[in-house]
Amino acid sequence: MITCTNCETPQFLQITQSRVYFEDGEVINELSESYECTLCGSTGQYVYDEDRDEEAVSGDVELTTERPKFA
């Protein structure tokens, strides 16, 4: 889950831009989303790399392990 580092809640985050990268026209390799917090105005970016199964965030958002990927 992605949360605002200032507000410490995902409640006010909005996706302002979303991009998906394809390979061979069908397989999703990478997902890129830009977020903006409508409460405090912070912005950040979330990227998911399908090939490496890696998530990364930058800016004023953070990934929380509220729901662990590996139980």
Q: Could you say whether residue 2 binds Zn ion (CB under 5 A)?
A: no
Q: Could you say whether residue 8 binds Zn ion (CB under 5 A)?
A: no
Give the integer Cα–Cα distance in Å for 45 and 2.
Answer: 10
Residues 10-69, interacting with Zn ion (CB under 5 A): 37, 39-40, 42
Torsion sign (Cα): 43, 30, 48, 3: positive
Least distance in angstroms from the C-beta of 26 to Zn ion: 36
Between the alpha carbon of residue 52 and those of residues 24, 30, 37, 61, the distances in Å are 18, 10, 28, 21
Q: Could you say whether residue 7 binds Zn ion (CB under 5 A)?
A: yes
Contacts with Zn ion, residue ranges (CB under 5 A): 4, 6-7, 37, 39-40, 42
